Chains A and B, each alone.
Chain A
Amino acid sequence: MEKLHISASPHIRQRCTVTSLLFHVIAALLPTVSAGCLVYGTSGVMVLCSTVCAAVAADLLCSLAVHQPKAALNGSSVITGLLLGLSLPADIPIWHAALGSVIAIVLVKQLFGGIGKNFANPAMTAKIVLMVLYASEMKIWHMTAAQTAAEKWTSSGAVIRMLLEQNNGMIGESCGIAIILGGLYLVIKKIISPVTPLSYFISYAVLNLVFRMDVPAELTSGSLLLGCFFLSADYTTTPLTVPGKCLFGIGCGCLTFLIRYLGGFGDSVALAVVIMNLFTPLLDSLTRTKPFGTILKLPSEPAESKS
């Protein structure tokens, strides 16, 4: 008699896998990556290559060390490398960029248990570390970018220029439209929920409107858009439920505003997102879903209350 296989239900699974989800994210980053490469040329390509290669290599080595080589092949380290590279200036020495990737993968991701276990966004944490380590290279440059954003480009024509092409920021900031395209792709494909990007963007715009009486052109700047669509909508480090995502976005918006106009740190988006990442467990437990049927209080004699 034939031998039948026994397994638990359900016996069909959706085709979508972690790898396919992550490849959609990589695809969504491609317009931004190509815009950055076009604007910055060889130096941009070199920085992106070094961050991606270093991230993949570090991930592979770590996974080999814990005897799970397959865990490194799902593309998550490529995303980390790309996000870090996109938020660096093009003229940074490629060794520093590669060091950033190693910090992101080893210190922030793998030491906490690998994919799905990190508490903060690896790329952004690494960027903050780089800004502390190499303050001169990163900060001086960034001051000009912030200056440009806040002072130079305040006319309405500047918004369009910033959306289209801006070659004085980080690699990923070169084209706002490319980031929006990628973000929309993720939203339409239902890979990310539009709640976090929208609440982040709107809360930041509203704060500007209320306290500074104008909506600055930098709303369309690359760093904010990248933060909205790719950093604050990351799966692992942001809350799960819709109210949680909403609070997370608002928190990011407020912190970005505070850091940018009251604080002295160069990259307000990175710092805001990483700080809010730390709030994720709290937000998650505050905004748990209500299981069906536990909302109502049980009447003492349910059978007789109805007739």
Chain B
Amino acid sequence: MNRLNGIVLPKKKSAANLETAAIEIPELVRIPMLMHQGTPCTPVVQPGDTVKVGQLIGSADAEDAVPIHASVSGTVSAISQYQIGRDSVPCIEIEPDGMQILSETCQPPLLKKREDLIAAAKNAGCVGLGGSGKPTHLKLAASSGFDMLILNGAECETDLSSDMRMMLEHGEDIVSGAEMIMKLMKIKETRISILSNQTEIIRHMMDLCEGKKGISICPLPVQYPQGAEKVAVYHTCGRLITEKQTAADVGVLLLNVSTCAFLYQYSQSGMPLVERVVTVSGDCVEHPCNLRVPVGTPAKVLLEYASCSFSALSELYRGGRMMGACLESSEEPILRQQNGLTAVRKQKKTTPSTCIRCGQCMRACPMHLMPMELEHAYRVQNIRMLQKYHVSLCLNCGSCSYVCPAKRPLCETNQLAIALLPKE
């Protein structure tokens, strides 16, 4: 099978061998009403209300919204605003009482058919846990004719190891989740994709899958990116997703391993998505770690746990270093789709120089785009040329910027170029 272009990142998973730890309940959690791709939720609690763990606090009125639940028990202290780009959404601040009283509304759902699973995924507040935050119920509902389930455990980003830990520590939940989804969605085959150099995890998952009909492990080439839908599907089962299609159009249901494990845990306990595993790493933290934290915990609490030297802290990323977005302050909350928190020291500033047409960006692009030509088309604001060269296919994976010897911001330019395109 052909493989797409990609890059080889330095192996820097400092927390890969560390057991997931839990942290103490923080003094304040802030839960924004937008922690998914779609429409924000509406707060259904008032300041002064008492809430319990798992209680609904943000209701999803739109079809593409996912409800939000309280991650701690305590009192709602305020409803403030949370800035996302230029927009701001309401943000519920809860002062925990430390008791972690479970809400009595959390009951295991009755899962009999496909529609039950879709409804359960929505009620559970389930989003893509690999960082995308795509509503899972929309993915499940996208097609009625899925014939393959792909569980993505590649986690090829630098630094991050939350999915790896999930597979090692809760592998049986992933396999049971796969069986549950296969049964309800009438899917016959499941492939769990793992980077081929993660031999320990592959062996562990193979042991768990033994005797399970239809579930197999698919080792992927050790390169970046692997998580993007088109790349993951192509590398795992060889199906080609064309420009306007999604994985559902080729009959593939693609979920992150952590999402699958969560769906199974929800089917057993009825506890919605209120906590998650986050990898804290970067050269600014002394003890990189994998932490299980309530959603909405300030980043600062995690950094303190990992002994971060705050005086040296220069940049803080939500996610890994390849695709992570910068945080404006360490007070910002951990979101439910966030798989990593990377704290780095001041980096040497790189000044871009002229392109020498070495073609490395072109050989790195998994979508076979030509970033240097897209950059030129953007500079002259030629929208027709941008469309002709399919800039909209850019995954924002950052491979082109990573390899560029002239240190040009190619990936950033692609995103700016996409913003230029007329809306469909």
Q: Which residues from chain A sit less than 8 Å from chain B, CB to CB?
A: 1-2, 4-14, 16-18, 20-21, 70-71, 74, 113-117, 235-236, 240-241, 288-296, 298, 302-304, 306-307
Q: From A3, which residue of chain B is reached at the shortest CB distance?
A: B329
Cβ proximity bits B244-281 to A, threshold 8 Å, 1 near / 0 not? 11001111000000000000000000000000000000
Is B390 interfacial (CB 8 A cutoff)? Answer: yes
Give the nearest-CB partner of A240 in chain B.
B359
Q: A11–B324 contact, CB under 8 A?
A: yes
Given contacts A4-B329, A240-B362, contact A293 B245 (CB under 8 A): yes
A12, B158: Cβ atoms closer than 8 Å? yes
With A2-B313, A296-B240, A298-B244 known to touch, is A307 a contact of B145 (CB < 8 Å)?
yes
- Interface pair B354/A71, CB less than 8 Å apart: yes
Q: Does B358 contact A (CB under 8 A)?
A: yes
A17, B354: Cβ atoms under 8 Å? no
Binding-face segment, B73-81, B205-213, B333-341, B405-413: B405-413
* Bound: A116/B325 CA distance, A: 32
Assuming A11-B344, A293-B242, is B357 touching A306 (CB within 8 A)? no
On chain A, the residues within 8 Å of B396 by CB distance are 9
Interface flags for B343-377 (1: CB within 8 Å of A; 0: not) read: 01011001001111111001000111110000000
Is chain B's interface secondary structure helix, strand, loop, or mixed overall?
Answer: loop
Query: Which DSSP category, helix, strand, loop or mixed, fits chain A's interface?
Result: loop
A303 touching B368 by the CB < 8 A rule? Answer: no
Chain A hits for B330, CB < 8 A: 1-2, 4
Q: How large is the interface on B (under 10, 10 to 19, 20 to 34, 35 or more residues)?
A: 35 or more
When A13-B401, A306-B250 are in contact, do A293 and B321 touch as well, CB less than 8 Å? no
Whether B403 is near chain A, meaning CB under 8 Å from some CB there, is yes
A–B pairs, 22, beta carbons within 8 Å = A1-B330, A4-B315, A4-B316, A9-B324, A9-B398, A10-B411, A11-B321, A11-B324, A11-B342, A16-B405, A116-B356, A235-B357, A235-B358, A236-B357, A289-B362, A290-B368, A293-B240, A294-B390, A295-B242, A296-B240, A303-B143, A306-B250
Asked whether any CB of chain A lies closer than 8 Å to the CB of B4, the reply is yes
Q: How far is the CA of A10 from the CA of B316 in the complex (A)?
A: 13
State whether A292 touches B324 (Cβ < 8 A): no
Per a CB cutoff under 8 Å, which of A71, A241, A293 touches B230? A293
Q: In the complex, are the beta carbons of B242 and A294 less than 8 A apart?
A: yes
B118-147: CB near A (< 8 Å → 1, else 0) gives 000000000000000000000000010101
Instruction: From B234, B404, B415, name the one whose CB has the most chain A CB atoms within 10 angstroms.
Output: B404
For the complex, is B326 an interface residue (Cβ under 8 Å from A)?
A: yes
Return chain A residues, CB-CB under 8 Å to B359: 235, 240-241
